[in-house]
Chain A
Amino acid sequence: MTNKPNSAQPFGRRRFLQTTAAGVGGMALGSLFVPLVARAQTPELTMWWWGEQELPGLQAYVDESVAAYTAATVKPMLQDTAVVISQFQTAAAAGTPPDIQYLWNGIYHMESVWFGYLKPLNGLLSEDTLRASNPTVLSNFGGNTYRAGWYPLPMVWYYNKDLFDKAGLDADAPPKTWAELLDACDKLKTAGIEPLGGGMQDGYWAEWWMSHSFVQTLDTAGEAVELFIGDKDFNDPRYHEHWVRLEELRTLGFLNKDMPSLELYPGIDLVVAGKLGMGQSIGSRLPADSKATNGRIGSMVMPVFGKGKLAGKPIVDTQGLGIAEGSANPEAAAAFLEYLNTPERLEAFHKATGWLPSSSRFDADLIEDASVKAMWKAWGQSPNITNVTNLMPGQFYEQAAIPTGQQVVQGTLTGEQAGELAARVAQEWRDFNPDLVEKYQQWVVDLSK
């Protein structure tokens, strides 16, 4: 989950709640009674979802869709951020899951897959719908896809066009290579502007740094997993180069001075307010930020230094919906998801939230703001990759992914030492969690395609 602000601080990324034995037992009992009950006139579906917290207007959209849908009676429930996963897993283990469940990308829902709580969607939704919704490769396991995409979270680098003008840079041609980036930073600094950065105190900036830069050194998402399971090593210069680059930005004095003590969102606000030249941000902010600055905020892909196949590609994370293995009526649930993916519903989504749905069937001409339209064209409608930090085990995320970025930016770790820390924590993760290592080893296969 990348979009933390405007929502409660996530209490914990995930929670393993039940042993699979208990889960299967509960499910078996539950499924005995279900066929009798399901013989009602219109099927009844429950849908647990999240997102009003990060996308105001979503609730209105859900209510409206449910009211308009006649083929089944859908009962939606907005979940609290802290329990999105745990509440579902508890219910699934007890045999009473909702039919449709909101799912964050990557490991956040993959563990539910490993516990047998989610149904593969490739049999239930049409292949066309599924593919158009961009569930991303991180929803695949064992050859099946477990989510349909709902709305996208493009991960972009913001730059302030007015500040670019002031520094003599081309506001319509932001830097594409690392050399160009350093040059741009230099010019900004000379013009008296802090070139690049944001807020690092709450740690998410460090995660985003990996989403953008770590991925440049990889050929496939599976390669990231190999680093966790031990087939590859963070001590290898190729895999900690992205921290070395961050170190470079620091030693050249290109990062804003209060980066370590500022938090993520106030840091992005610096770019919008014209106090910082460039910074990492999230696409769903763009409609508001573009409006506030009269379109003077630009989106760019992170300039390239890496030689992996994934370098230079726009990143789009996706929030999705899935169907529970214990659902009484998966076909009806799938039909509702198909309904949400009709062009009419996609347009309604845009009207209600001001944001975009995740399906390529959405008519991008409906977007009014030119900057948002341009961003979506370059991110959502072009070949894109997804956010590989969604793969990280929680222990690695907390003990390596976040602290490395924070300490490199401060100067207490060099890029190389960050690699050592990552390698050591990856090893600790393997030692502490041998059962997860097995699952990750299987996952590599799907992620390397």
Chain B
Amino acid sequence: MKTGHSFKQAVLILACIVALLPSVFMILTALKSQEEYTFNKVGLPDALVGAHFWAILSDSPFFHWMLNSAILAFGAVVLGTLVSCTGAYAIARMEFRGRDTIFAISTSLMAVPPVVMIVPLFVLYTQLGLISTFSGAIVIYAGLITPFSVYLLTTFFRTVPQELFDAAVIDGANHHQILRHVVVPLSVPALLTLVVVNALFVWNDLLIAVIFLQEDGKRTLMAGISVFQGRYNNQIPLAMAGMVVASAPMVILYITFQRHFIRGLMAGAIK
């Protein structure tokens, strides 16, 4: 039905407008001069002002913050994935006492809200001098992503056909070789999804970052945005330029790797 079609299209277009509106506002505002924004909040900029972007790109802590976030994401994902791979392999393909219990407990840990962990870890880290250290924060993030990673990988490893496994055993391979040369190559899609989910989790996190990485030099992008907004709350166009720069990495990755991204985000939601 043609009228039905155009109505549906209209609804979808309206939804798209609502979805994009804040980003449009963000970009348009970033291109206005400070003075212009005071009287022209809604419309298009009279003259395109690049000064704010220049200021952000040349002399702001954003890139340092992004680097910190990247370090954390990398470290946590590497540690978490390694730990989860070996653990999931054991659960999926080995027999030992308590296997199902361990898997059940590990899986149920996915449900524990991270906020529950912050008090004891904060106190412990203060005692050990681990506040504002990358290694300290990486351990926490790695721990938080492990239950989900183990769950996902175990499920996946269990689907590897037994014949492949048996063939490798006959060839004289030990567990380590099987894991490396048989299981992991087959699991690349699952691993990729996992990396995306976990990296996003660490990149987007605010709670852990704000508590465990307080020093200016170690601040993450998310925590930095909070600081930045407070410092420049009377320079809105500049603040918006900062937001554009801050969102750039994810937006670029999203547009380039849409499919993987979407799959990864969906898997993350299932967490």
When A and B assemble into the complex, do they touch directly, with CB atoms less than 8 Å apart? yes
Contact of A5 among B38, B132, B231 (CB under 8 A): B231
Contacts of B226 in A (CB 8 A): 9
Is there an interface contact between A17 and B126, defined as CB atoms closer than 8 Å?
yes
Interface assignment of A33: CB less than 8 Å from any CB of chain B: no
Chain A contacts with B in 253-305, Cβ cutoff 8 A: 263, 265-266, 269, 273
In Å, the complex CA distance between A17 and B123 comes to 8
Contact with B along A7-21 (1 / 0, CB 8 A): 111010001010000
Interface assignment of B216: CB less than 8 Å from any CB of chain A: yes
Chain B contacts with A in 142-179, Cβ cutoff 8 A: none
In Å, the complex CA distance between A263 and B229 comes to 11
Contacts of A4 in B (CB 8 A): 230
Nearest CB on B from A359, distance (A)? 29
Chain B contacts with A in 229-271, Cβ cutoff 8 A: 230-231, 233-234
Chain B contacts with A in 88-134, Cβ cutoff 8 A: 126, 129, 131-132
Chain B minimum-CB-distance residue to A11: B214
In Å, the complex CA distance between A11 and B227 comes to 9
Contacts of A248 in B (CB 8 A): none
Is there an interface contact between B227 and A9, defined as CB atoms closer than 8 Å?
yes
Interface assignment of A132: CB less than 8 Å from any CB of chain B: no
Is there an interface contact between B234 and A269, defined as CB atoms closer than 8 Å?
yes
Interface residues on B, range: 10 to 19
Q: A17-B126, A266-B234 are in contact. Are A11 and B216 (CB under 8 A)?
A: no
- Interface SS of A by simple majority: loop
Contacts of B36 in A (CB 8 A): none
Interface residues on A, range: 20 to 34
In Å, the complex CA distance between A265 and B38 comes to 15
Is there an interface contact between A11 and B210, defined as CB atoms closer than 8 Å?
yes
Is there an interface contact between B234 and A80, defined as CB atoms closer than 8 Å?
no
Is there an interface contact between B231 and A8, defined as CB atoms closer than 8 Å?
yes
Contact of B132 among A8, A83, A202 (CB under 8 A): A83
Q: A11-B210, A11-B214 are in contact. Are A202 and B129 (CB under 8 A)?
A: no
Contact of A82 among B38, B126, B129, B215 (CB under 8 A): B215
Interface assignment of A6: CB less than 8 Å from any CB of chain B: yes
Contacts of B231 in A (CB 8 A): 5-9
Contact with A along B184-221 (1 / 0, CB 8 A): 00000000000000000000000000100011110000
Chain A minimum-CB-distance residue to B214: A82
Number of inter-chain CB pairs below 8 Å: 46
Interface assignment of A410: CB less than 8 Å from any CB of chain B: no
Is there an interface contact between A80 and B233, defined as CB atoms closer than 8 Å?
no
In Å, the complex CA distance between A17 and B216 comes to 20
In Å, the complex CA distance between A202 and B230 comes to 9
In Å, the complex CA distance between A8 and B219 comes to 12
In Å, the complex CA distance between A4 and B216 comes to 16
Is there an interface contact between A83 and B215, defined as CB atoms closer than 8 Å?
yes
Interface assignment of A65: CB less than 8 Å from any CB of chain B: no
In Å, the complex CA distance between A269 and B129 comes to 41
Is there an interface contact between A83 and B233, defined as CB atoms closer than 8 Å?
no
Interface assignment of A90: CB less than 8 Å from any CB of chain B: yes
Chain A contacts with B in 75-116, Cβ cutoff 8 A: 80-83, 86, 90
Is there an interface contact between B214 and A83, defined as CB atoms closer than 8 Å?
yes
In Å, the complex CA distance between A8 and B233 comes to 11
In Å, the complex CA distance between A263 and B226 comes to 14
Contacts of A86 in B (CB 8 A): 126, 131, 214
Q: A17-B126, A90-B126, A90-B129 are in contact. Are A80 and B230 (CB under 8 A)?
A: no
Contacts of A82 in B (CB 8 A): 214-216
In Å, the complex CA distance between A11 and B214 comes to 8
Contacts of A9 in B (CB 8 A): 226-227, 230-231
In Å, the complex CA distance between A5 and B226 comes to 13
Contacts of B214 in A (CB 8 A): 11, 80, 82-83, 86
Chain B minimum-CB-distance residue to A268: B234
In Å, the complex CA distance between A263 and B230 comes to 9
Chain B minimum-CB-distance residue to A15: B126
In Å, the complex CA distance between A41 and B17 comes to 72
Chain A minimum-CB-distance residue to B217: A80
In Å, the complex CA distance between A241 and B144 comes to 50
Is there an interface contact between A8 and B129, defined as CB atoms closer than 8 Å?
no
Is there an interface contact between B234 and A8, defined as CB atoms closer than 8 Å?
no
In Å, the complex CA distance between A86 and B215 comes to 11
Contacts of A265 in B (CB 8 A): 233-234
Is there an interface contact between A80 and B216, defined as CB atoms closer than 8 Å?
yes
Contacts of A90 in B (CB 8 A): 126, 129
Contacts of B215 in A (CB 8 A): 80, 82-83
Nearest CB on B from A416, distance (A)? 32
In Å, the complex CA distance between A83 and B129 comes to 13
Nearest CB on B from A113, distance (A)? 20
The 5 A-B pairs at the shortest CB distance, nearest first, are namely A9-B230, A266-B234, A80-B216, A82-B214, A263-B233
Given A5-B231, A8-B231: 15 more A-B contacts, CB < 8 Å: A9-B226, A11-B210, A15-B126, A17-B126, A80-B214, A80-B216, A80-B217, A83-B214, A86-B126, A86-B131, A263-B233, A263-B234, A265-B234, A266-B233, A269-B234
29 contacts between A and B (CB under 8 A): A4-B230, A5-B231, A5-B233, A7-B231, A8-B216, A8-B227, A8-B230, A8-B231, A9-B230, A15-B126, A17-B126, A80-B214, A80-B215, A80-B216, A80-B217, A81-B216, A82-B214, A82-B216, A83-B132, A83-B215, A86-B214, A90-B126, A202-B230, A263-B230, A263-B233, A263-B234, A265-B234, A266-B234, A269-B234
